[in-house]
C-alpha cells in the first residue's frame, strides 16, 4: 500500500482486528503524508480503462457503489492529482450526484481482468455543469467527440487523495468481446492461410483415372 493509503485505512479498529487474528498488527501506521500523486504507471492504467466502479456515501453514511462505463479513456487524467469524466444521461436517479452534495468523498475501483490487476483510488469529487468546462477542468475537454457515446449532462472532477495497487490473487481473468477478437485474430488468419493452401493442393491434384 502507499503510505497515504495506509494512513487513511489502517484505523485503530483495523489494528485491533489484526491483533486478534494474528497476534500482532500487520502494518505500522505512518504519520500523515502528503496526498498521493499519480505516476506514469497509474496514468497509463487509468487511460486504458473502459469502465470503473465508483463508491459514494449518503447523508446518513450508507455506502453506495455503481458501475461507470464508456469509451476507452473516458476517465481522463487531467494532471497527476486530478481525474475527470463526462456523465452521460441515464436513469435520472442521480444518486451519486446527490450524495456528493453532502459528502465529496469517493472511492474508485479500476479493474484489468485479463492482466489480473486492480487499482483503488480515494478522492474527493465535484459535480460541475457543462458550461464550467474547460476553465474549471484545467483547460481539458472532458466531453467526448463521439456522438454515439450519448448525451452528456454534467461533468465530474475528482481530486486524488490516495491510491493503492492490489495483489492479483483471486482475480479471475475475463475478456471483452474486443479482447477475444484480438486474441483470436492470429488463429483465424492462420486457418485462412491453411484453407487457401488446401484449395490450391486440391486444384492442382490430377484427376483420378476412371478406368482404374
CA torsion, ordered 78, 79, 82, 85, to nearest 10 deg: 10
Mean pLDDT of the chain: 84
In this prediction, residues 22-30 reach a mean pLDDT of 80
Pairing of strands 51-57, 117-128: unpaired
More confident residue, 149 or 129: 129
Please check whether residue 207 lies inside any domain of the structure. no
Please check whether residue 208 lies inside any domain of the structure. no
In this prediction, residues 84-91 reach a mean pLDDT of 82
Count up the domains in the chain and report the number: 3
Tell whether 87 and 178 lie within a shared domain: no
Tell whether 57 and 151 lie within a shared domain: yes
Tell whether 17 and 85 lie within a shared domain: no
Query: Of 73, 83, 63, whose CA–CA distance to 161 is shortest?
Result: 83
Confidence of residue 161 (pLDDT cuts 50, 70, 90): very high
Tell whether 116 and 194 lie within a shared domain: no
More confident residue, 203 or 38: 38
Tell whether 79 and 100 lie within a shared domain: yes
Q: Which CATH number do you get for residue 70?
A: 2.30.110.10
- Rounded to whole angstroms, how far apart are CA atoms 56 and 193? 53
Tell whether 163 and 182 lie within a shared domain: no
Phi-psi region of 55 (alpha: psi -120 to 50; beta: other; left: phi over 0): beta
- Rounded to whole angstroms, how far apart are CA atoms 109 and 26? 23
Domain that holds residue 29: 1-34
Tell whether 14 and 61 lie within a shared domain: no
Tell whether 99 and 160 lie within a shared domain: yes
Give the chain's end-to-end CA distance (angstroms, integer).
Answer: 79
Cα dist. 126→21, 58, 96, 108 in Å? Answer: 39, 15, 11, 14
Cell 477542468 found at: 137
In this prediction, residues 196-212 reach a mean pLDDT of 77
Amino acid at each position: 500500500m502507499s503510505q497515504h493509503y495506509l494512513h487513511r485505512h489502517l484505523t485503530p479498529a483495523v489494528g485491533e482486528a489484526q491483533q486478534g487474528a494474528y497476534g500482532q498488527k500487520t502494518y505500522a501506521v505512518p504519520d500523515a503524508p502528503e496526498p498521493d500523486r499519480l505516476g506514469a504507471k497509474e496514468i497509463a492504467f487509468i487511460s486504458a480503462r473502459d469502465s470503473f466502479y465508483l463508491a459514494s456515501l449518503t447523508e446518513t453514511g450508507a455506502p453506495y457503489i455503481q458501475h461507470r462505463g464508456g469509451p476507452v479513456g473516458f476517465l481522463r487524467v487531467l494532471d497527476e492529482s486530478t481525474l475527470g469524466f463526462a456523465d452521460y444521461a441515464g436513469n435520472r436517479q442521480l444518486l451519486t450526484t446527490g450524495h456528493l452534495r453532502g459528502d465529496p468523498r469517493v472511492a474508485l475501483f479500476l479493474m484489468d481482468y485479463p492482466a489480473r490487476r486492480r487499482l483503488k483510488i480515494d478522492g474527493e469529487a465535484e459535480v460541475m455543469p457543462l458550461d464550467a468546462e474547460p476553465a474549471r477542468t484545467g483547460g481539458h475537454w472532458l466531453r467526448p467527440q463521439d456522438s454515439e457515446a450519448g448525451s452528456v449532462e454534467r461533468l465530474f472532477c475528482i481530486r486524488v487523495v490516495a491510491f493503492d495497487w492490489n495483489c492479483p490473487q483471486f482475480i479471475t481473468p475475463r475478456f471483452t468481446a474486443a479482447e477475444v477478437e484480438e486474441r483470436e485474430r492470429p488463429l483465424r488468419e492462420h486457418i485462412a492461410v491453411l484453407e487457401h493452401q488446401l484449395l490450391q493442393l486440391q486444384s492442382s491434384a490430377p484427376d483420378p483415372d476412371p478406368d482404374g
